Structure 1
Amino acid sequence: MARTVIGAVVAVVLVIAGYAVWQVARLGFGIQRSDILEGKATGEEMNILLMGLDSRLDMNGKPLSPELYEALQAGDATDGGLNANVLMYVHIPADGSRAVAFSIPRDDYVDLAGCPDGVCKGKIKTAYGLAFDQENRRLVNQAGLSAEDRHKQSRDAARKAQIATVEKFLDVSIDHFVEVTMVAFFEIAQVVQPITVCVKEDTVDTYSGADFKAGEQQINAQQAVSFVRQRRDTSNSKLLFTDLDRSRRQQAFIVSLLTQLKQSSTLTNPVKINGIVDVAQRNTAIDSGLDPITLAKTANTLQGGNLSFFTLPVASFDNVDGQDVNVVDLAAIRATVKEQLNPPTPTSAAPASPTPTPSINGAGITLDVVNASGRDGAAKAVLDGLAAKGFTRGKASTGTATEASSLAYAAGDADRAKALATYLGGVTPREDTSLSAGTMVLTIGSGWTAPSGLGPTAAPASSPAPSGSAAAPVDATGGGVSGPPPTALTELQGSGIPCVK
């Protein structure tokens, strides 16, 4: 069954916002709005719940065209439902610092706020559909209420229940929401295709139609639907997919799309911009307090790659009342979210020797870090530490194991690269003519000893954190053929073309 990448719709509109505010203003006049969160926003920070519905209907509950059903390969109006099969909590700080997005696995077994339809515990995705059903049945015989008004009021009840359930689960406050139907993703992909994505292994899934070769490749809209909905491999028994892998596919698609839009002519093409806004108007609902012009102000945050995507871990899998569910460590989930929303300030590194510490100024330098050391979390730890010294966060990735460490830099950046290499210690600087000015790539080998404050804080993947404690993130693109385990909190940086399972 197809699932929606709701974040792609929002992210694309945000990017457009930075270039064409008038188009975003036009979006505000046509998009569907809801008053359910009126008065909840308390400041300039934004806490948004993105909800993607497993519905083969439009925003008003009406069937799609036969052409769309054929293109989606996902059944017809009788298939799917109103479960929120994609849930992503996004926090955008008021000060412009790192934004974070948490993908919540749809089958997490949680307490459902308000016990909709008398169900007090179930899969987190079902809060929406159960509350819709409960309200729709309550209103069905109400005099003077049209079917369209009943549908709208039932949707608002469903949104309230889903938002309250996520707030309770993560112990957060949500002041905005964005909701889209399944068709939105396909239509966005139609406008911006072809899209560049990357997978680590050849993979085929006859159910979703996925058929991809290892490495980067350009795909069309129909292939994009297969890319984000793949949850099994029918040709390679080593590629054991879970819904968490699909969450990482969705995140990778968003990041790839944002990267591509910055590098292509899409944002200067009025026809394509109009097309994207039109899709958002037809297939998106937002709360009344979410002003598209305010959204425009967050565009630079996303465009600069100052965004991290996390996929929340599960403790184990189980079967409850005939349903396959994800068992979660509630205390650990809440502690993990809290820690990522309030990251500790990195400790300043002390000099490794009496030699005076060189002046480190990262302003204007984008730093990518390749972890070839075999130590989990090393790339992220270095980026965290050096971001505090003015470096722009680039991509954190995992490379082929090596002992030596190096720092590649572009022509003209030799002095600053040598200063950074001296500060890091044990790192060999080298000029790389393929790099653009203002870009450096640090490769961390197993022989490197990190200065204080820059070392990895993550526990080894084989040693899970104690119950109730915050999970340390691992690279979402790591884990070899099998990919990261479902018990790991994974992090994907918001720039580049991520290569995922």
Structure 2
Amino acid sequence: MSEEPQGGHVDDPSSASRARRAARAADDPGDGANTPRYADSAAKRRRGRLRPRWGRIAALAMALVLFVVVAAAGIYIWRANAGIKRSGAIADKTSQSSDLDLLVMGLDSRVDVNGNALPSDIYDALHSGDASDGGLNSNVLMYVHVPADGSQASVFAIPRDDYVDFPGCPDGVCKGKIKEAYGYAADAKTQELDKQGKTGQDAYQQARDAGRAAEVRTVEQFLGVEIDHFIEVTMVAFFQIAQVVQPITVCVNEKTVDTYSGADFKAGEQDINAEQAMAFVRQRRDTDNPDLAFTDLDRSRRQQAFIASLLVKLKKTNLLTNPGQLDKLVQVAQQNTVLDKNLKISQLTSLATSLEGSKLNFYTLPVESFGTADDGAAINVVDKAKIQGIVRSILHPGQSASPSASASASGSASYSPTYGMGATVSVMNESGVTGAAASLVGQLTGFGFTAGQATNGADILQESSVSYGSAVAGQAKQLAQQLGGLSANADSTLGANAVVVHMGTGFTGWPSASPSAASSAASTGGSSVSPSASSTAIPSAVDANSGGQSGPEPSQLTQISGGGIPCVK
């Protein structure tokens, strides 16, 4: 039986642009090899929607499961020379902090990390179609922050349908669901390489790297953080790991049945096997009790509860000291995991130490409402200022939620009144709003920048960004974060002390040094004022077990603490 539409959280109707993003393994007539390509058939995409979607929704949970196991078994994996695939997608990123800032991405894909089809028995077990189904959407997005002292690990679940800006407008798309940034960028890279006559595995991996880099940039800009590392896994990993670690103890508040997912759980704690685990993390409705209305946010909380329960089991058993079990987990990691090449074993070891008990908190970021995009896609309407305020308030407790008073995204320093000293800032106005560039230059002098030029660009662009010369990387990166988490890129054509802000139509990051100036800019048609100058309140986290039978509201920030078996909806 197939998944039915519900609650604004179903796949978009197929279109030519979305079909291009569907990854499949197909024969390449160019070299005769089994070379991964992108599907161009919207009809094939629609046929895939008629199949039961175990894998699509399992992707919502498997990424963190594998991430936890890789972290906890990290030393063994490296000593075993396991051959886990490494990616240089963000190799040029350098952190100014000793904190660990990592993005976990789980892909809606029916192929392994090399684009190869999975064994037929896996497809049979998952009821997920075949290699032509799925795609390169990041259906799991988890931002993980562990401070240098390992005192408190925070994991933020980002709902996959949050409607956000895409830095660089990959594939000509400047705004969409946050999960789609990967697929659009991968497709754009594939088309570029096709024009150059480049195909085969190397071209496929270049496209995947483009997708990884784009997803990292998109999340950075949305959350207002800097991400230095990532872990990527494909959807089959969850089922394979659940087979190794079963049974797992979970808890639900109410008896619940769902004939679509196969969920059939009693109220309270219970042990579940691998197949039941799939149903636990993919349940999206109750077919017996319509009052139990599920959304994607409930499924995020389910996956977090599963992770917390898994950590309890790992602590109580000898699973990670059993060579036979570890070998099985390593095999899963080899086939279904990609790590960025700069992620070190020492960082994974530190991470494993932080993933226990009261040191770990899971958060599910809220949405304002469920809506519809211009193309008819079901989306989550989000308040970027509120989201960034939430993240800052959790990562830097006791400090102002305003970017100007909070620690920078790298965690290294606050935005002092003179952090721009030594840099000359210019603004290229590509938003079409008269006077916005001059207004922004004037405000930035309040942070120690020397005023440069305020000019209008030849084109109107959606994306905003910061570029900088060789001597002012630190000032530029802090500025980029203060202006709403923009991308910051070195530019060898600029003078050593030059910083240029490219202000696009989506610019919302007015600085907060002089609120009156920001308000004045807004009144002349400029972009909205900064989060600190807005009236957006930063909500406190509520327990994921709150809200009675109906559960927490989608607009509420929810929290699950580690160290026990959480009971959830």
Candidates 552, 556, 566, aligned match of 1:484: 552
Aligned CA distance change for structure 1 residues 275 and 129 (closer, same or farther; 3 Å): same
RMSD over aligned CA atoms reads: 1.6
Q: Deviation of residue 467 (structure 1)?
A: 5.1
Identify the residue that residue 538 of structure 2 maps to in structure 1: 470
Identify the residue that residue 91 of structure 1 maps to in structure 2: 145
Identify the residue that residue 222 of structure 2 maps to in structure 1: 169
Candidates 297, 309, 317, aligned match of 1:244: 297
Quick check: 1:110–1:122 contact (8 Å CA) kept in 2?
Answer: yes
Aligned CA distance change for structure 1 residues 230 and 61 (closer, same or farther; 3 Å): same
Q: Which secondary structure state, in structure 2, belongs to the residue aligned with residue 191 of structure 1?
A: helix
Letter in 2 for 1:176: H
Within 5 Å, which residues of 2 pair with 1:6-17?
6-17=63-74
Identify the residue that residue 248 of structure 2 maps to in structure 1: 195
Quick check: 1:3–1:86 contact (8 Å CA) kept in 2?
Answer: no
Within 5 Å, which residues of 2 pair with 1:48-447?
48-143=102-197, 145-320=198-373, 321-344=375-398
Candidates 46, 54, 58, aligned match of 1:3: 58
Q: 1: CA distance between counterparts of 2:143 and 2:565?
A: 22
Q: Which secondary structure state, in structure 2, belongs to the residue aligned with residue 235 of structure 1?
A: coil
Q: Which secondary structure state, in structure 2, belongs to the residue aligned with residue 43 of structure 1?
A: coil
Aligned CA distance change for structure 1 residues 295 and 494 (closer, same or farther; 3 Å): same
Q: TM-score scaled to structure 2, two decimals?
A: 0.64
Q: 2: CA distance between counterparts of 1:159 and 1:174?
A: 12
Quick check: 1:41–1:289 contact (8 Å CA) kept in 2?
Answer: no
Q: 2: CA distance between counterparts of 1:161 and 1:335?
A: 23
Is 1:496 the counterpart of 2:564? The answer is yes
Quick check: 1:41–1:176 contact (8 Å CA) kept in 2?
Answer: no
1:36-57 Cα distance to aligned partner (Å, 9 max, x none): 2224233321100000001111
Quick check: 1:171–1:334 contact (8 Å CA) kept in 2?
Answer: yes
Q: 2: CA distance between counterparts of 1:125 and 1:471?
A: 24
Letter in 2 for 1:94: A
1:400-420 Cα distance to aligned partner (Å, 9 max, x none): xxxxxxxxxxxxxxxxxxxxx
1:319-371 Cα distance to aligned partner (Å, 9 max, x none): 112111100111111101100011128xxxxxxxxxxxxxxxxxxxxxxxxxx
Identify the residue that residue 390 of structure 1 maps to in structure 2: none
Q: Deviation of residue 26 (structure 1)?
A: 3.5
Q: 1: CA distance between counterparts of 2:542 and 2:256?
A: 23
Q: 2: CA distance between counterparts of 1:85 and 1:467?
A: 31
Q: 2: CA distance between counterparts of 1:194 and 1:292?
A: 29
Q: 2: CA distance between counterparts of 1:236 and 1:337?
A: 35
Q: Deviation of residue 317 (structure 1)?
A: 0.9
Q: Deviation of residue 231 (structure 1)?
A: 1.3
Q: 1: CA distance between counterparts of 2:227 and 2:234?
A: 20
**Long gaps (5+) in structure 1:** 346-465
Q: Deviation of residue 141 (structure 1)?
A: 4.2
Quick check: 2:72–2:348 contact (8 Å CA) kept in 1?
Answer: no
Q: 2: CA distance between counterparts of 1:153 and 1:83?
A: 16
Q: TM-score scaled to structure 1, two decimals?
A: 0.73
Aligned CA distance change for structure 1 residues 109 and 27 (closer, same or farther; 3 Å): farther
Quick check: 2:150–2:350 contact (8 Å CA) kept in 1?
Answer: no
Q: Which secondary structure state, in structure 2, belongs to the residue aligned with residue 297 of structure 1?
A: helix
Q: 2: CA distance between counterparts of 1:79 and 1:205?
A: 24
Deviates more, 1:68-77 or 1:147-156: 68-77
Quick check: 1:316–1:328 contact (8 Å CA) kept in 2?
Answer: yes
Q: 1: CA distance between counterparts of 2:298 and 2:224?
A: 24
Q: Which runs of 4+ in 1 moved over 6 A?
A: none
Q: Which secondary structure state, in structure 1, belongs to the residue aligned with residue 73 of structure 2?
A: helix
Quick check: 2:357–2:564 contact (8 Å CA) kept in 1?
Answer: no
